Structure 1
Amino acid sequence: MEPLAILVLLCFPICSAYPLHGAVRQDHSTMDLAQQYLEKYYNFRKNEKQFFKRKDSSPVVKKIEEMQKFLGLEMTGKLDSNTVEMMHKPRCGVPDVGGFSTFPGSPKWRKNHISYRIVNYTLDLPRESVDSAIERALKVWEEVTPLTFSRISEGEADIMISFAVGEHGDFYPFDGVGQSLAHAYPPGPGFYGDAHFDDDEKWSLGPSGTNLFLVAAHELGHSLGLFHSNNKESLMYPVYRFSTSQANIRLSQDDIEGIQSLYARPSSDATVVPVPSVSPKPETPVKCDPALSFDAVTMLRGEFLFFKDRHFWRRTQWNPEPEFHLISAFWPSLPSGLDAAYEANNKDRVLIFKGSQFWAVRGNEVQAGYPKRIHTLGFPPTVKKIDAAVFEKEKKKTYFFVGDKYWRFDETRQLMDKGFPRLITDDFPGIEPQVDAVLHAFGFFYFFRGSSQFEFDPNARTVTHTLKSNSWLLC
C-alpha cells in the first residue's frame, strides 16, 4: 500500500489581532471557521453542523474539547476567545494526533544515506544562506539517528526542495503572505519526501520575517516520516512559534523518541563503551569552552571555517552568529580530525590535509582525483603529516608548518621554494612550535596553539596580540 500523501503547512504565529480573553460572538464567520477547522484537523463530519446549536454533550463540544486538549488550551468545550484565536493562527495542514507519531503505515526511508537537492532559491537570502539553513535543518535530525545526508546539484534526489508561489503543480497552492508557509510529504518515491516553501513569505535567518531554518527543520521532519506532536516543546508541534532561543534549536525528547522509533539511535551510541572512572571527552565541542582548540582554520570564499573533530564553525558576512555544522554534511567523503586546511583563492579551492593525504574541495564538492599524497607537493619522505597551512594572497605563497619548521610553496609555479624548510622561530619571532592552525587575514598572521592564538605582524616581525582561540566565535 502506498504511503498516504498528507499536506504539511507550517507557519509561525507572529502576532494576532484577536482578543485573548472574553466571550466571542458566535456569528456565521466564527461558526464556519470552527466547522472548517474541526473538519480538517479533528475528523468532524460535515453533517454534524447542526450540533453547534446544542450544548454540553453534543459531538461538536467533544471535538472542541479534543482540540483544546491537544493544543494545550483550557477544556471549556466552547468557542471562547482563546480557542478562536488558536483557530486563526497559521499552522500545519495535517490532522492532529497525540504525542510523537508517524504517518499512516509508518513510511520511512529504507536506507541511512539520503540525498537532497535544492531545486531553486528564494531571492530573500543569498544562495549560500539557503544552503546553510537546509543543511542545519537536516543536521538536527542527523545528530540523533544513523542517517546521513548529501546534497546533489542535478538529477533526482530523495528529497527535492523548492520555492514556489500559488499553484505550483501539486494541487496544494500556496496562499500568499502568512497562513501556510511550507508543506512536505512523507518518505517514498516520486514527489514523496519533497518539501515546498512559499516564496511569497519574507524568508530570513533571524526573528524578522519567517525563519527558514526553523521552518525547514519542521518540514524535513515530515520528509523523514514524522507526523505531529501535542507537546508544545516539540519541533513537531503543529503551531510553531519563533523565539531567539530556537535559533540553534535542540530536539525535545519527544522528537528524539519519534525519529528513533523509525531509524534507531546513531550507530556510535551502540558501539561506545564507557570506561569506569574516566570522564569521556564530549563528542560535540562547545564554542565558548575556554580550553577550545582548533584542528584547522581556513577561509572559503570570504567566510571563515574553524574545524574541530568532526564539526566546524562557519562565520559568514550575512550572519554574525557562527554556524555549527558536521563536516560530513558538506563533504561526506572527508575524514574528521583534520590536520590542516588552506584556501588557494587564486584557484577557488581549499586543500584539506590529514595524515599523509590531502583533498581539494571547491564549494561543496570534493574534486576528482583526490586524495593525493602530500609528497606530490614536494615534501621529503620524512614528513608524515602537516600541522598547519596558510595562503598569503599578496605573495601567492603557501606556508606549511611541520614541527618546528616550515616550508614555503609557490602557488603559481606549483613548486616548493628553495632554501626551505626554515625554523619557525627564525622567521616568526615569538611563535613557538608546535602550531595547530594558521590564518592570514587583515594583513596579519594568526597562529593557533591550544586555546591561545597569536596575532603576528609580518612587517614588524613581532607578536602584537595574544587572544583566546575562540575569540573568532564571538566568545
Structure 2
Amino acid sequence: MLPSIVKAILFLPWCLALPVPPGTDLKGWDFVKDYFHHFFLTKKELPLLTEGEQIRFLQQFFSLNVTGLLDKQTLDMLRRPRCGVPDVTDYSISPGRPRWNKLTLTYSIINYPFGMKPSTVEDIIYDAVSTWGNVTPLIFQQVKGQDADIKISFWDFEHGDDWPFDGPGGVLAHAFLPSSETPGVVHFDKGEHWSTSYRGINLFLVATHELGHSLGLYHSGNQNSIMYPTYDYQDPRTFQLSVDDIRRIQQLYGRKMFI
C-alpha cells in the first residue's frame, strides 16, 4: 500500500500530464528511481508507479513545474546535497507527533570532522541547539561521553545503521526521531567539507536541520523552512527560523516563556 501522502499527491489534477517520451536518458532514470526508492518508497512499492508518475510526484513535492518530463530543473533539484532522512515517513514506526517527554535535554559531541577545531564545532552546535531553545521552553546542556539524550558524531560511508554515507555531496547527514529505536542520534558525513561559511557545507545550517529531526520534526515542503530536505546556504549570522519552523516546534513543546 502506498503512503497516504504519495496517494494524495498522485491523484491531484496534474496526474493527467503527458507521459514520459521514449528515448529518455536511462542513466538519468536510474538515478531518479534510486532517489525515489531511497527517500519515498520501498522496492516493493516502486513498481506500483510508472516513471511518469514518479517524476510528477517529485516535481510536485519540490514545488517544481509539473510536466512529468525528466528535465534539467528536476535533475538539478534531485542532485542537490540533502538530508538522508526519508521525505515520506513510515508513520507505523513513528506514529503521531514524536517528542521528548522532558524539556531539559543533554547533548554530547562524540567526535569531530576533519579541518575544524573541536572548540569551533562545539560553538556551532551550541548555536544550533540555541536556535530551537530560543523559541521553546527547551533547555540544552552539553555533557561528555555517550550518556546523553542527543549524541552527535561524524562518520564515513557505512557506519552501522543501514544509512551509509556517500562522501562529498549527496547525503550530508541524518538523525533519528525521539520515538525511534535510537532516539537523539545525529550522524554527519565525515567526508564533507564542513565549514563556518559559504564554502563547502555550512555545519551550522545542517546541524540545525538535523537537530530539528532529533526533536521530533519531519521534513517540511516549505522552501523557507530549515527543515526543507535539500541544502541551501544562508548566512548563519542573519539566520532565523521560518514561521513554519517555529509553529511546528511549538506544537511539540510550547512557547518560550519570557519573564
Q: Larger relative CO (CA 8 A, sep 6+): 1 or 2?
A: 2
User: How much does 1:40 deviate?
Assistant: 3.1
Mapped to 1, the partners of 2:47 and 2:77 lie a distance apart of 24
TM-score (norm 1): 0.46
Runs of 4+ in 1 over 4 A off after TM superposition: none
* Alpha-carbon distance change, 24 to 176 in structure 1, aligned in 2, over 3 angstroms: farther
Mapped to 1, the partners of 2:167 and 2:86 lie a distance apart of 22
Aligned twin of 1:173: 164
- Indicate the structure with greater helix content: 2
Mapped to 2, the partners of 1:80 and 1:38 lie a distance apart of 16
* Alpha-carbon distance change, 42 to 123 in structure 1, aligned in 2, over 3 angstroms: closer
Cα deviation, 1:282-335, whole Å, max 9, x if unaligned, reads xxxxxxxxxxxxxxxxxxxxxxxxxxxxxxxxxxxxxxxxxxxxxxxxxxxxxx
Mapped to 1, the partners of 2:218 and 2:180 lie a distance apart of 18
Q: Secondary structure at the match of 2:55?
A: helix
| Map 1:198-237 → 2, pairs under 5 A | 198-237=189-228
* Alpha-carbon distance change, 26 to 189 in structure 1, aligned in 2, over 3 angstroms: closer
* Alpha-carbon distance change, 27 to 154 in structure 1, aligned in 2, over 3 angstroms: closer
Cα deviation, 1:117-159, whole Å, max 9, x if unaligned, reads 1111123111110000000000110011010000111341000
Is the contact between residue 85 and residue 174 of structure 2 (CA under 8 Å) also seen in structure 1? Answer: no
Is the contact between residue 131 and residue 241 of structure 2 (CA under 8 Å) also seen in structure 1? Answer: yes
Mapped to 2, the partners of 1:37 and 1:168 lie a distance apart of 20
Aligned twin of 1:127: 118
| Map 1:289-368 → 2, pairs under 5 A | none
- Structure 1 or 2, whichever has the larger Rg, is 1
Aligned twin of 1:263: 253
Mapped to 1, the partners of 2:180 and 2:48 lie a distance apart of 37
Q: 1:43 aligns with which of 32, 41, 63?
A: 41
* Alpha-carbon distance change, 218 to 126 in structure 1, aligned in 2, over 3 angstroms: same
Pairing 1:251–2:249 present: no
User: How much does 1:251 deviate?
Assistant: 0.3
Q: Secondary structure at the match of 2:77?
A: helix
Mapped to 1, the partners of 2:237 and 2:65 lie a distance apart of 29
Q: 1:113 aligns with which of 81, 104, 108?
A: 104
User: How much does 1:248 deviate?
Assistant: 3.6
Q: Secondary structure at the match of 2:197?
A: coil
Q: 1:164 aligns with which of 133, 155, 168?
A: 155
User: How much does 1:189 deviate?
Assistant: 7.4
- Indicate the structure with greater strand content: 1
User: How much does 1:24 deviate?
Assistant: 11
| Map 1:16-35 → 2, pairs under 5 A | 26-35=24-33
Aligned twin of 2:13: none
* Alpha-carbon distance change, 31 to 123 in structure 1, aligned in 2, over 3 angstroms: closer
User: How much does 1:86 deviate?
Assistant: 1.6
Structure 2: which 5+ runs fail to align? 1-20
Q: How many corresponding residue pairs?
A: 233
Pairing 1:192–2:183 present: yes
Identity among equivalent positions (%) equals: 43
